[in-house]
Chains A and B, each alone.
Chain A
Amino acid sequence: MSAAWACVIVVGVGTFALKAVGPVGVSGRKLPAHVVELLDMVAPAILAALVVTETFAHGRSLVIDARLVGVGAGLVAIVFRAPIWLVVLAGAVATAVARLVT
């Protein structure tokens, strides 16, 4: 088997398992109130970490580039309560334009 196919299988099986942890491993059980309250905090923490990663991470370095312009344009759209598709479009256009001129 080639390395490419081995990689497809290893990553596929591993991801199947990670995605199943919650829905298969925990599902159906009634979680105690304090755990539910704790899980409420997980979503903002993960999303904030994703925002930082997607905006500033380039491998293992933090960089400021066209993506920050895209996020800025997205923020303007968010402040004006634009629908999500407009936020995404504003982000793409602003990033593309910033990349073109820099």
Chain B
Amino acid sequence: MTRGFRVAAPLFPAAAALGASFGVLARTAHLNALAAIVMSATTFAGSSQVAAVSVLGAGGSVAAAGVAAMLLNARYAPIGITVAHAFRGSPLKRFAQAQLVVDESWALSGGGTPRFDRRVLLGIGAMLWVAWVGGTAVGAFAGQAIGDTSAFGLDGAFAALFTALLAAQLRDRRRVAAALIGGAVAAILIPFTPPGIPIIAATGAVVVGWRRR
């Protein structure tokens, strides 16, 4: 786990700042500070939280917010399956540890590759959880004082992070092909489907393409 802490340390400020921007957003969408913090501590999946409170803030129903969030988090089913073999112990323990799976902890610990290390994933996940929940609390309470967090360029930073994690995956032609198909499917679907669908469809396309070979 210590190695996980070390790997995640550089991401701590960025994750905390993103958490703060979620906290601010949640308040503008009429969640009180406690609800915002509880949501970050339990859901712990940034994009889906942003989507859900945005739907609520725009006057949408709880059902609409839930559907938007579930579509965005659907990718955690295949992501979890790629690391499932490493989880041991009682179902309750595995259930609890599974909650520390987020895109960053999964990819940075080698998820979906032979060098995957579950303890590194748990270390990264725990550290990012602290940053995310702490950041949310700061944003939810200090809201206006923080100002416009988009000026920090965090969205571009996470796009660059995923690019680096993708580059590390491109070890052979099969994986390059999977990345090209996945990226293309996502790009094509973004204008036509709700957020989240393009990512799950990209996964599905690669699975179908692989089986049809």
A41 adjacent to B210 (CB under 8 Å)? yes
Main secondary structure of the interface of B (DSSP, over half): helix
B154-186 interface with A by 8 A CB criterion: 154-167, 169-170, 174-176, 178-183, 185-186
Most buried by A among B80, B97, B207: B80
In whole angstroms, what is the CA distance A46 to B185 when docked? 11
How many CB-defined contacts (below 8 Å) exist between A and B?
330
Chain B, residues 39-60, CB within 8 Å of chain A (1/0): the string is 1001111001100110010000
The distance from the CB of A52 to the nearest CB of chain B, in whole angstroms, is 4
- Report how far A83 CA is from B44 CA in the complex, Å: 26
Q: A40-B112, A47-B162, A51-B163 are in contact. Are A15 and B84 (CB under 8 A)?
A: no
Interface size on B, residues (CB 8 A): 102
Which residues from 18 to 55 on chain A have a C-beta closer than 8 Å to any C-beta of chain B? Answer: 18-31, 38-55
B160's partner among A14, A53, A90 (CB-CB below 8 A) is A90
Chain B min CB distance to A48 (Å):
4
Interface residues on A, range: 35 or more
Q: Please determine whether A74 and B175 come into contact, CB atoms closer than 8 angstroms.
A: no
Is the pair A22, B79 in contact by a Cβ cutoff of 8 Å?
A: yes
A-B contact pairs, 12 of them (CB 8 A): A16-B95, A19-B76, A40-B174, A41-B206, A44-B182, A49-B186, A49-B202, A60-B193, A75-B160, A90-B160, A91-B158, A92-B14
List 6 tightest A-B contacts by C-beta distance, closest first.
A70-B156, A22-B80, A95-B156, A91-B160, A74-B160, A43-B112
With A51-B166, A61-B191 given, can you name 17 additional A-B contacts, CB distance below 8 Å?
Answer: A8-B31, A10-B62, A14-B69, A16-B42, A20-B80, A21-B81, A22-B98, A25-B84, A39-B112, A42-B112, A47-B165, A56-B187, A60-B190, A67-B159, A77-B164, A88-B160, A98-B156
